Amino acid sequence: MSEKITGYIDHVVFRNEENGYTVMVLKTSDSEEEVTCVGTFPDITQGVTIEAEGQFSQHHVYGRQFVIHSYAEKAPEDTQAMERYLGSGAIKGVGVALAARIVRYFGEDTLRIVEEEPERLAEVKGISEKKAREIAAQVTEKADMRKAMMFLQKYGISLNLGAKIYQKYGQSVYGVLQENPYRLADDISGVGFKIADAIASRIGIHADSDYRIRSGMMYTLIQASGEGHVYLPKEELFARASQLLRVDVSYMEKHLMDMALDRKLVLKEKDGIVLVYPSQYYHLELNTARMLTELNIRYPQDEQMMERRIAQIEKETGTVLEEMQKKAVIEAAGNGLFVLTGGPGTGKTTTINAIIRFFEGEGATLRLAAPTGRAAKRMTEATGYEAQTIHRLLELNGVPDDDNRESQGIHFDRNAENPLDTDVIIIDEMSMVDIFLMHSLLLAVTAGTRIILVGDENQLPSVGPGNVLRDIIQSGVFPVVELKKIFRQASHSDIVVNAHKIHNGQQISLDNKSRDFFFLKRYDADIIIRVVIALIQEKLPRYVDAKPFEIQVLTPMRKGLLGVERLNQILQMYLNPAGPDKKEKEIGERLFREGDKVMQIRNNYQMEWEVRGKYGIPVEEGVGVFNGDTGILKEINEFAETATVEFEDGRFADYSFKQLEELELAYAITIHKSQGSEYPAVILPLLSGPKMLMNRNLLYTGVTRARKCVTVVGSEETFGEMIRNEKQQKRYSSLGTRIRELSEPAVSQTVSPVSQDS
Of 643 and 726, the structure prediction assigns the larger pLDDT to 643
Average pLDDT over residues 183-209: 75
Say if residue 349 carries a ligand binding annotation. yes
pLDDT (tens digit per residue) in 367-426:
999 998 888 988 999 999 999 999 999 998 866 554 444 445 678 999 999 999 999 999
Q: What's the pLDDT score for residue 339? A: 97
Question: Is the model's pLDDT at 639 over the cut of 90?
Answer: no
pLDDT (tens digit per residue) in 111-151:
788 777 878 888 888 888 888 888 878 777 777 776 777 67
Q: Do the Cβ atoms of 269 and 316 come closer than 8 Å?
A: no
Q: Do the Cβ atoms of 328 and 479 come closer than 8 Å?
A: no
What pTM was computed for the model?
A: 0.77
Question: Is the model's pLDDT at 433 over the cut of 80?
Answer: yes
Q: What's the pLDDT score for residue 527? A: 96
Say if residue 36 carries a ligand binding annotation. no
Q: What's the pLDDT score for residue 716? A: 94
Average pLDDT over residues 660-670: 95
Q: What's the pLDDT score for residue 749? A: 35
Residue 552 DSSP one-character state: E
Q: What's the pLDDT score for residue 752? A: 32
> Which class for 275: exposed (0-12), middle (13-18), buried (19 or more C-beta within 10 A)?
buried
Q: Do the Cβ atoms of 711 and 518 come closer than 8 Å?
A: yes
Of 197 and 267, the structure prediction assigns the larger pLDDT to 267
The dihedral built from the CA positions of residue 311, 430, 407 and 648, taken in this order, carries a sign that is negative
CA–CA distance, 429 with 453 (Å, rounded to integer): 8
Query: Mean pLDDT highest for which of 82-91, 124-133, 157-166, 749-758?
Result: 124-133
Q: Do the Cβ atoms of 58 and 45 come closer than 8 Å?
A: no
CA–CA distance, 566 with 757 (Å, rounded to integer): 44
Q: What's the pLDDT score for residue 18? A: 65
C-alpha R_g of the chain: 31
pLDDT (tens digit per residue) in 297-313:
999 888 899 999 999 99
Which amino acid is it at 649? D
Question: Is the model's pLDDT at 667 over the cut of 80?
Answer: yes
Average pLDDT over residues 578-582: 92
Of 569, 573, 576, 529, the C-alpha closest to 549 is 576
Question: Is the model's pLDDT at 558 over the cut of 50?
Answer: yes
Q: What's the pLDDT score for residue 535? A: 97
> Hey, how many other C-beta atoms are within 10 angstroms of the C-beta on 514?
18
Say if residue 345 carries a ligand binding annotation. yes
Q: Do the Cβ atoms of 560 and 566 come closer than 8 Å?
A: yes
Q: What's the pLDDT score for residue 60? A: 66
Question: Is the model's pLDDT at 200 over the cut of 80?
Answer: no
What is the pLDDT of the chain when averaged over all its residues?
87
Q: What's the pLDDT score for residue 718? A: 94
Q: What's the pLDDT score for residue 74? A: 76
Residue 403 DSSP one-character state: T
CA–CA distance, 16 with 367 (Å, rounded to integer): 40
pLDDT (tens digit per residue) in 312-352:
999 998 999 999 999 999 999 999 999 999 999 899 999 99
